[in-house]
Structure 1
């Protein structure tokens, strides 16, 4: 077995977590890990259950966009049961965990584009999706989906060359998926536990944001509302404050943000 061969035993053996990844379900190929993780949660899966696949054939990112996940990359979903007041921190937890994991294993310095894209040298290397089922004040389940371009040959995909990259492309060598996955699960648990006390996760996330201070274009999920202005700050709930050309401030809760270079 090479370091890039994933298996339940390879991932979980000696994994230094209390619950994240201690139950891991592996598939050689899957439409999307999110669907399986959601079903696992409905059936009462333990918190921290991880669904991971070597390949996803019908993955999607935020705003229902397709996400390419051929073999050699990372595609996983994690089942969590957070308190309602912590739900907004999951995007911070996930993007920080991915950023720190990449930095630790590769030495690269990722940045976060609001709210949850992880970039290297201005190009997307990771997509994150958070889905939750909330009834009244109770979170029945929350699923974090993470897709990382690890050994993706972007040179063979001209349609994404200008906007996406991979760790192997940046380093000029193959990167161990197993090392990344194990580090990622440990980082996810660490930041998730940290998010329950104080604002340290919010503060770290804010420092990693490449968006702040930049001129941006913010589009609503439907694309019908488009705003342009300077990304001024982010609230503790993750929302973005945009300074418009007329000097007014407006709050962006969700949508797609593009940096205007």
Structure 2
């Protein structure tokens, strides 16, 4: 039986300072990103969380459809980062998801550049960060997180080759509430650390399965192939091209070459 989510269940005894202290729960939404963005425009407190049981019009990176049927996690968090670095927020979110999954389930997720959380070479979580930028600063950031928790991939043949879920990997249903609460605690801890040091970047880099591999990077209509040598503190992928030169890639889709 899929566990129930509510604002009260999430916030009670959460032990965070601001992330998750205000939670807006909806049985169904078009997307949590839309609602969280509107909350931010209305001056919502930092750490406001919008969460739903079901998204009907969710999109991932590059406006791809992201399935969120009931039994999974779809949430967005409003942040007001001091430094205008979208990649830093991505690092915090993806690392927080990985650590929450590891803590609650014992599974060992890895990260694929730039923002996918993977189990057994399949995607279990997608992260989307949108920022509203004013001259010289970031007005707000909305972090959207979608985790396949109790999804049966065989019910969706179109994603079966590329996606998995926590319950599928574990062989039993997983508590969404435990994952959400752990995720919000980890997110706050890492967010605060990211303001003071490069420790989050280093931990994020160390979990990247992409590094050291031959990859194909697609960005718009451009495709490059090479070895994913490293990532820099701004989150850019450093790609060693066949001619020996080093290319700095800020955004794109990465495919590991066989």
TM range (shorter): over 0.9
Instruction: Report the equivalent of 1:57.
Output: 56
Q: TM-score, normalised by structure 2?
A: 0.98
**Counterpart of 1:51 in 2: which secondary structure?**
strand
Q: Which runs of 4+ in 1 moved over 6 A?
A: none
Instruction: Report the equivalent of 1:24.
Output: 23
Aligned residues: 258
Contact 1:132/1:143 (CA < 8 Å) preserved in 2?
A: yes
Contact 2:2/2:173 (CA < 8 Å) preserved in 1?
A: no
Greater shift, 73-82 or 153-162, is seen at 153-162
Match runs of 1:175-214 below 5 Å: 175-214=174-213
Cα offset for 1:86? 4.5
Q: TM-score, normalised by structure 1?
A: 0.97
CA distance in 1, matches of 2:19, 2:85: 17
CA distance in 2, matches of 1:43, 1:94: 23
Deviations 1:16-69 (A, max 9, x none): 100001000000000000000000000000000000000000001111110000
**Counterpart of 2:104 in 1: which secondary structure?**
helix
Unpaired segments of 5 or more residues in structure 2?
Answer: none
Deviations 1:160-185 (A, max 9, x none): 11100000000110000000000000
Q: Residue 229 in 1 paired to residue 231 in 2?
A: no
How large is the Cα RMSD of the aligned pairs? Answer: 1.0
Instruction: Report the equivalent of 2:72.
Output: 73
Q: Residue 253 in 1 paired to residue 250 in 2?
A: yes
CA distance in 1, matches of 2:155, 2:41: 39
Instruction: Report the equivalent of 1:47.
Output: 46
Greater shift, 144-153 or 245-254, is seen at 245-254
Instruction: Report the equivalent of 1:155.
Output: 154
Contact 1:86/1:195 (CA < 8 Å) preserved in 2?
A: no
CA distance in 1, matches of 2:87, 2:69: 30
Contact 2:215/2:256 (CA < 8 Å) preserved in 1?
A: yes
Deviations 1:94-120 (A, max 9, x none): 000000000000000000000110000
Contact 1:132/1:140 (CA < 8 Å) preserved in 2?
A: yes
**Counterpart of 2:101 in 1: which secondary structure?**
helix
